[in-house]
Each structure stands twice: as structure tokens, then as C-alpha cells.
Structure 1
Amino acid sequence: MAGATQQLWQITQSDLLLRMLISAAFGGLIGIEREWSNHAAGFRTHILVCLGSTTIMLLSIYGFSQFVNEPNVRMDPARLTAQVISGIGFLGAGVIMRNGSEVKGLTTAASIWVVAAIGLCVGAGFLFAAGLCTLFVLISLYLLNKMEKIYLKSRSKHELEVELLDRSGGLVMLSQALKQRELDIVSLQVLSSQTGDGGIEKITIRFVVRSRKNNAYMDAVRYISARPDVLALRTGMSLH
């Protein structure tokens, strides 16, 4: 009985090598997708996270096999695993960046977290679950991302900065013009206000709008640029 228990907590070098190779392959597949998409954490980062998780899992299960038969020792393979799950957050936090109201890197942070989980599965010999998870992650990152871009193409956020003479409620008229063209105003910010020649006030306004139909944004740009009270117009594109 003791011999069977001892064998349970041991692994051959060939099996260990196989699990490490599978871990590097699964992590690399997800990392390649992130690399192609020009994200901060790419191919090498995902391989390292997956390999590290696998190594810790292997250590947790098989690294203390010499103490199995000690009467005062209780083996707990999940102890080191729990530290990986809680500790991987520092890497995820490092790739999340905030720029104003926009947050970037959430998907990459999530991919790092799930790659750690894949590594733990590989290290524990839960290979089918690791492969299945890798497949679903690739589908989510690549195929669903393509579908999302197609679906949200007409719901893009656009930035519009307008300098105009505010002599007859120009701000209100611009807001109404955008809404009439089925553009939702996400945010509105008055950047500057000054009095020009003749005592007429000039203001600079930044709109962030979301279009609900194709060509709505360009239609609004053409209308605004043609207004006689508009002095300058700057356009730009924000993220989804």
C-alpha cells in the first residue's frame, strides 16, 4: 500500500518533459494571437506564464514525494496552486492602461490569467481540459473579436473638436444637429472660451459621439464644417 502511494506522487522525466512541452505550445498559441494584435503581453510572456504555472503545479504534486511516508506530513497539491491564481494578478495589472475614459489591456490581462490556469491543468496532467480551454480562448480572442468588430463597426466612438462663435446658442444647435443625425453624445467638454473681436465669444468644444448608422458621422462633419459660425474643426477616432 505504501509503495502504491509513493508511486502516485512520482512522475517520470519523460512525462515531465511532455507536460512542459505541451504547456509551452498552449501558451505560445495564445501568445501568438496577442502578438499579432500588437498587445503588450505577447508570445514570450504567455509562454513564460504557462510554463511557470506548469512548473509550480508539478512541484506542488511531485516535488515533495520524499516526504509522503512521513507520519506528520500531509500532502496538499492545491496549496502552491492557490498562490499562482492569486499572484498572477500583478502581471495582469501591468498591462491594463487607462487613458481618460478609455481602458486598454483588459483582454490581455484576462488571457494571462487564463494561461496560468492552462499551465496548472497541464502540470496536473489534466491535458484534455487544458487543450479544450486553449481552443476556446483562441476562438474568443480571434474569431469572436472579428465578429465583434463587424457587429460594432457602425457603433464606433468618434472624437470631434469644434471651435465656433457662440453668438446664438451654437453649442445647443450643434448638439441638436448631432442627435438629429442619430449620433449619441457620449461626452461633451468645453476646452476653452475667450472673447474675440467685436465682443463675440469663441469657444472650443470636444464631443465624443457614437454612431447608430453608417455614414452618420461623416454627414455630421460635413454639416458642421459648412456652418458659418464654425472657425475650425478637428476629427478623430476613439476605441470601441
Structure 2
Amino acid sequence: MRFLATFQTLDFLDTLASLMAAFVLGTLIGAERQYRLRTAGLRTNVLVAVSAAAFVDLAWHLAAAEGAVRVIAYVVSGIGFLGAGVIMKEGMNVRGLNTAATLWGSAAVGSCAGADMIAQAIALTIFVLAANTLLRPLVNAINRRPLDERSSEATYELLVTTSPGAMGDIRELLVAKLEAAQYPVSDVNVIDRSDDVVEIVATLVSTAVEAKELDAVVTDLARQPGVRHATWDVSTKD
């Protein structure tokens, strides 16, 4: 058998050490993901790390460093397809980006382990875990900050609810008041909510916005005959 002729104990122990390192480090990363009930949890991250290590180790033994480099390139692209499977879009929200990035990190850890760079694999694992745990309080603190309307890249919309009969006049009045406040309108849409209710949505041209000025426009519009409700909203572009 060719196996008996080519088997070398030291090479096998080297491979075993690489796979074991990838297994342990992948477990550390996956345990944090499993604890937070992410789509790609413990087993997925372990399998990604171990598989990446196995492919790189195999290429290293067959074609040395040149072969390992080629396989690592394929691992990077392959994990991209796997990560796309955990990214989900729900309305305007996108979920799973962090999970996909963590899978990429697990693959990098496995690749380092497969290339016998176990110290680097351990260091990378620490950084991945730190990104998913130590940075979480900072992310929460940033998310709790009030949105700065003047400096953020955002889309501003004014929404006015009225009757179909008054729609034409209210639409012209809405555009006129916004232009008078020096807020040019990029688009105006009319949405039929029911037989007797329509919603006029005016999207502003990207510009610095003063919240008090939009509040004044909305308050003035709400007082007009035929207007049932008027408000404005802001959403970030990213």
C-alpha cells in the first residue's frame, strides 16, 4: 500500500498538531457565537477552522509553501460564499454581517494553524474574540448616542397624510414651504393608504438639516385644512 510507504510519523504528528490547534481555537470562537445564539455557532466555526487547516496542511505537504499559498487564496474565496449564506435582509435591515466576518476569522485561524503558524493562530483568535466581546460595550454606547442631524449622512423625508381631494394643493404647499426654508426636494411620492387617505412623501436633497426648522414646517403643514397628520423622519444611508 502506498500509505505504508509514504507514512511518516513526524509529518503525521505535525498535521495532528495543526488540526488540534484549529479545533481548540475554533471552539473558543464558536462558543462565543453559540452563547449569543448566532446563525453560525460552535460547530460551524470549528468545522471552518479545522477544514481550512486541513486544506492548507495538505497543500503544504504536497507542494510546500507555494501550494499552501494557492490553497489559502481559495479558502478566502470559499468562505466568502459560506458567509453570504448567513447574511439575511429583513426589510431595510441586514443581519448576519458580523457572523459572516467571524467565519472569515475562523478560516484565517485555521489557515494559520495549517501552515504551522500556531502562535499567530492563537493571537488571531484573541483578536477575533476581543472584537466580538470587548468592543460590544463601545458599540452599544455609540448606538445610544442621539443622531446628529447636521453631521450624519442621512435621508430626510417629510410625510403628510391628507384626503385625495386635497392632495394636489397640499403637495404644492409642501414643496413650497420646504423650498422657502431652503430645503430643496429631490422627489415627491404619493401613496394610497385607503380610499379616503393618501400619504405624500417628500424626500429632501442631501444637505445639512436643522431639526427645529423641519419641526416648524411640519407644524405649519399640520394646521392646514385637509391635513390629517404631518411629520418628518430620518434614516441613515449605511
Q: Distance in 2 between matches of 1:35 and 1:206?
A: 44
Letter in 2 for 1:163: T
CA displacement, residues 29-48 of structure 1 (integer Å, 9 cap, x when unaligned)? 32333344443322221111
Residues 107-118 of structure 1: matches in 2 within 5 Å?
Answer: 107-118=98-109
Deviation at 1:54, TM superposition (A): 1.3
Asked whether 1:123 is paired with 2:114, we answer yes
Q: Distance in 1 between matches of 2:178 and 2:230?
A: 15
Q: Residue deviations 1:109-149, cap 9 Å, x none?
A: 22212211110111222111111111111222222233122
Q: Secondary structure at the match of 1:41?
A: coil
What is the 5 A alignment of 1:18-167?
18-62=17-61, 64=62, 75=64, 76-99=67-90, 102-152=93-143, 153-155=145-147, 163-164=161-162, 166=167, 167=169
Question: TM-score by structure 1 length?
Answer: 0.60
Q: What's the counterpart of residue 70 of structure 1?
A: none
Q: Does the 8 A contact of 1:97 with 1:103 survive in 2?
A: yes
Instruction: State whether residues 26 and 134 of structure 1, in contact with CA within 8 Å, keep that contact through their aligned partners in structure 2.
Output: yes
Secondary structure of the 2:199 match is: strand
**Could you say what secondary structure the match of 2:191 adopts?**
strand
The 2-side partners of 1:112 and 1:50 are apart by: 8
Counterpart residue number, 1:211: none
Instruction: Determine the C-alpha separation between the residues in 2 that align with 1:155 and 1:33.
Output: 30
CA distance in 2, matches of 1:128, 1:17: 16
- The CA RMSD over aligned residues, in Å, is 4.7
Return the alpha-carbon distance in structure 2 between the equivalents of residues 93 and 192 of structure 1: 34
Shift, 1:52, TM fit: 0.7
Deviation at 1:99, TM superposition (A): 4.9
Percent identity over the alignment?
A: 31
Give the stretch that moved more between structures: 166-175 or 85-94.
Answer: 166-175
Listed as ranges, the gaps of 5+ residues in structure 1 are: 1-5, 65-73, 209-215
Measured in 1, the distance between the counterparts of 2:228 and 2:57 equals 67
Q: Which residue identity is paired with 2:161? A: E
- Asked if the contact 1:40/1:95 (under 8 Å) is kept, the reply is yes
SS in 2 for 1:39: coil
Q: CA deviation at 1:21?
A: 3.2
Summarize the Cα distance change of 1:87–1:232 in structure 2 as closer, same or farther, 3 Å threshold: same
Alignment of 1:196-211 (within 5 A): 202-205=198-201
Structure 2 residue aligned with 1:69: none
